Amino acid sequence: MKIDQIFQNNSDWVSKRLNLDKDYFVNLSKGQKPEVLYIGCSDSRVTAEEVMGAGPGEVFVHRNIANMVPNTDLNVASVIEYAVKYLKVNHVVVCGHYFCGGVKAAMQPADLGLLNPWLANIRDVYRTHQSELDAIQDEEKRYMRLVELNVQEQCINVVKTAVYQEAMRDREISVHGWVFDIHSGSLIDLKIDFKKILDEVMDIYKLAE
């Protein structure tokens, strides 16, 4: 993609939007009230808004390598804090994707320098679910399952935050684990049984009264 082309595309987009609604950008500048916080992978093939059919103002987005919610990452923690406490989103989505390079890298025994501590979070997911994963003979299926389990574990990391637990106590808020299937373009709801997981997790991680 040529950089100059980006500015041409932008100017075409502005004209298109204004043709449909001359006040579009005036209204957009008034503020945001998104209902969804989306935490996804930085992968260039997984475009958050486009796959959901969402427009500007509808989704608060955070992306990083392999859609992680590490407990000590101030970046994602700030995003969750702001989205849940101040924007008051009703849904937190963690969306992974099959053929995720980050997850693949975590499955290889290799020194990847600065990426090591980040990938260790995914390796921890592998360790937590090692007996299930090691029982899957087919390497691609094992890789796909690790993508799903990683989404599940990152959803649990969301639930572990005090801000999410406070919101859960005070209003309706839910967390969703999804996978984007690059092969078909479909979003898959993993339908994780959060009630069960919550009960287990909250025994140990309960922060809010």
Binding residues vs Co ion (CB under 5 A): 41, 43, 100, 102
Asked if 62 and 9 count as a contact pair (C-beta separation under 8 A), the reply is no
Shortest distance in whole angstroms from residue 102 CB to Co ion: 5
Tell me the DSSP string of 116-183: HHHHHHHHHHHHHTHHHHHT--SHHHHHHHHHHHHHHHHHHHHHTSHHHHHHHHHS--EEEEEEEETT
Q: Is 134 a catalytic residue?
A: no
Q: Is 48 exposed, middle or buried (0-12, 13-18, 19+ CB in 10 A)?
A: buried
- How many alpha carbons fall within 13 Å on the CB side of residue 197? 18
Specify the residue, 70 or 102, whose C-beta has the smaller distance to Co ion.
102
Asked if 62 and 37 count as a contact pair (C-beta separation under 8 A), the reply is yes
Specify the residue, 59 or 68, whose C-beta has the smaller distance to Co ion.
68
Specify the residue, 40 or 164, whose C-beta has the smaller distance to Co ion.
40
Q: One of 43, 62, 95, 155 is an active-site residue; which one?
A: 43
- How far apart are alpha carbons 153 and 160 in whole angstroms? 10
Specify the residue, 41 or 125, whose C-beta has the smaller distance to Co ion.
41
Q: Is 100 a catalytic residue?
A: yes
Three-state secondary structure call for residue 185? coil
Shortest distance in whole angstroms from residue 66 CB to Co ion: 5
Query: How large is the greatest C-alpha to C-alpha distance in the chain, in angstroms?
Result: 58
Shortest distance in whole angstroms from residue 177 CB to Co ion: 15
Q: One of 45, 189, 193, 199 is an active-site residue; which one?
A: 45
Q: Is 43 a catalytic residue?
A: yes
Q: Is 45 a catalytic residue?
A: yes
Shortest distance in whole angstroms from residue 77 CB to Co ion: 20
Active site (catalytic) residues? 41, 43, 45, 97, 100
